[in-house]
Structures are given as C-alpha cells and as structure tokens.
Chains A and B, each alone.
Chain A
C-alpha cells in the first residue's frame, strides 16, 4: 500500500481501498461505542456502590482505574484511525507523541502534590478535617505521608 510518487516530493495521500476503508471505520466506530457503553456501565456501577451501605474504597478505585484505561484505549483509536496518525511516517509520529510523554510526570507530580496538601492540612487543621469528614472517609489517610512526629 505504498503511495505513488506523483510530484516526486510529497505523496500527499495515503491511498486506501474504499471497501477496506469502510470496514476499518465501521470496526472503529463500533469499538468506540462499545467502550463508551462499558464506561457508562462502570459509571453506573460506581453510582450504585455509593448508594450502598459501605462502599469498598478499593473496589471503587479499581473501577475508576478501569474507566481511565478504557478512555486511553478510546483516545488511541481516535488518534490512530480517525486522525490517521498511525499511517504517518514513524519519525513524524514520534515528534508528536514523545513530547506528550511529559504528561506522565505532569499528572503524577500534580496529583501527588494535591494529595500531600490534603494530608498535611488534615494533620494541622483538625477543625477543618472534622468539618469535612463527618461521613466515614478512608481510614489512615492522615498518616500516609507523615512528617515524622
């Protein structure tokens, strides 16, 4: 499926057969819809768990993690099939994807920081903690990142 060199320089179009293209788009559309429906099902599961007496924090966290992974899968299919990034030259793909790796640090560092702020405030501002925690909140939160004391 190599491009025909018309202008000797840029072979603009990634030529795909009509039938092959239609099959690919149909498959991706169905895939995206199915993933979205699974996500919704998990969302409703979390909802019913929250309505229950003692929602297991670990199970809720696991479901949320699953939704995150499914979202990344959706993003992958949109970018690689709908946006045709998968059909580009590898070097070009890398110039777009490699800078996005910054997100790994970006997300981890900032969420960590937010959590650290919460734990230290809970440690030093007991009034606020009691005010916002009348409902059972995960035990041991305040001691996770101790300041040694």
Chain B
C-alpha cells in the first residue's frame, strides 16, 4: 500500500521522479501556450493602447450587427454570440475526447474528435462570412468633403461618427458619378448598375433621400488592421487546431495510440484547442463587447 501514499506526503523533489508529475510534451505545450498568450496579449494590448489614444472609436454594435440571411436587419452581437457558442461547444467535445482517451476508448475519442473538427470548421466558416461581409458591405461615408461608398479594409473603414444632415447635403453636391451610382444602387435594387450609370448626376441625386443615408465619417484608421490582424491570427490558430485534430483523428483510427498504450497526444492537442477557445474569449471581449 506504499504506492498509494497521500499527495501531501509525496516528496516530489527527492529525486528519482519527475517533480511536476507531467509528461515532457505536455509541459512544453503549456510553456508554448504561455508564450502564445503573450503574443496574443501583446496584440490586444497594442489595440487597447491605440484605442485609448483616440477621442472616438468604432462602436462594435454598429460594426457587427449583421446576420447571414437577415439582410440589413440590425442585429447587434447576434452572429458573434453564435460563433462564441460554437467554440465553447467544440471545447466541450474536446474535453470528452480527452476523457475517452483516458479510458482507452478508441471509438469515443474518434467520435468526439470528429465533432470538435466539425465545430472548428463551423467557426472558420462563420469567420469567413463575417470578413466577407465587412469587406464587401457597402456604407456611405463622408470623405474629403464628398460622399463615397466603402467597406472595411485595413486602410479605411466606415465606422466614424454620424454626419449631420446639412453637411451631407453639401457633400452630396461634390459627389462624383460612380459614387452616386453606388449609393443609389444600394437603395434601389430594381435597377441594374448599368441602367443607373446611364443616368445623369442630377437624376441620381434626385433619387437619393439624404435622411435615409446614415452617413458616417471614416472611422479610426487602425481599426481595420487590428481587427483583421487579431481575428485573423486567431482564425489561423483555429485552422491549425483543426489540422492538428484531423491528424489526431487519423492517428487514432490507425491505432497509433492503442499500440502506444496511452492517448497523451490527444491531451496535448486538447490543450491547444482549449487555448484557442480561451483566446477567443478575450478577442470577443475586446472587439465585440466593450
């Protein structure tokens, strides 16, 4: 019964045993994740620093208010909460895969790993949709005293402050033809762009109701770069996590771990996957909630 001594009596530092009682690979995974936490932390903190240095910043409820298939309906926070829940659930399925590994349950590992991969792919799909929507989504902005239609890029974004109606009226007079076509086109879907382009400037201006336009100034320059940079870096982690999980799934199906006698590799992949979820919690906080 000497082997079942209570934890408090085990003297880990007497030599002859691993003082952390943890496998090398797992310990190194922890240290890698710690360093990765600093990388993400540095990114988010630089975002915070720039944000604190500005008098105005983009309002997340204005930026992230779209939902696939819902058109222009204003649904702040809706889509990102779907993404968050997908990641939480895929984290849970990963825990279950690791646990099945503890029980040397090959079928269980494969089942839960497969679900985790599905969750990861679903998240990546959501992110692809969101990026696509932000890049191609057209918004009328006031730029150099005229109106223009832009999406969010790393160089410019339409998330500034609302412009008062008098300024909009004035800017409309200076707006070039192609911008007018785009503005009218985003509100009148019954005419094609070619038909609209054939109209004269004054005809186009007559079709624009400035009260309906919701014109904003261009937003803080750094916003797009930080958003695409940080969510992109996180998305890359999700992507590599999915790849790792697929490799784990293949190895499990080929009985690599059964032959080894343990499923510790799944545990390490699991740590990485949970970390991806953990980072999302903070990205969610910094970009979408506050």
Contact = CB atoms under 8 A, between A and B. Distances in A.
A100 B55 contact: no
Contact of B55 (A33, A40, A111, A137): A137
Contacts of B4: 2, 4
A111 B92 contact: no
A89 B50 CA distance: 39
A8 interface: yes
A139 B3 CA distance: 68
B53 A115 contact: yes
Give chain A's interface residue range (CB within 8 Å of chain B). 35 or more
Interface stretch (B129-137, B200-208, B246-254, B275-283): B275-283
Give chain B's interface residue range (CB within 8 Å of chain A). 35 or more
Nearest to A117: B53
B76 A106 contact: no
Chain A residues touching B, majority SS: helix
B22 A88 contact: yes
Contacts of A29: 88, 92
B49 A114 contact: yes
A114 to B, nearest CB: 3
Ranked nearest first, the 8 interchain pairs of A and B with the lowest CB-CB distance are A114-B52, A114-B49, A92-B20, A132-B55, A47-B61, A114-B53, A117-B53, A71-B285
B122 interface: no
Given A2-B5, A91-B20, A95-B20, 12 more contacts: A2-B6, A10-B18, A25-B99, A36-B81, A36-B85, A71-B282, A82-B277, A100-B34, A100-B37, A102-B38, A115-B52, A132-B55
A135 interface: yes
B128 interface: no
A21 B100 CA distance: 11
A89 B55 contact: no
Contact of B46 (A8, A74, A110, A134): A110
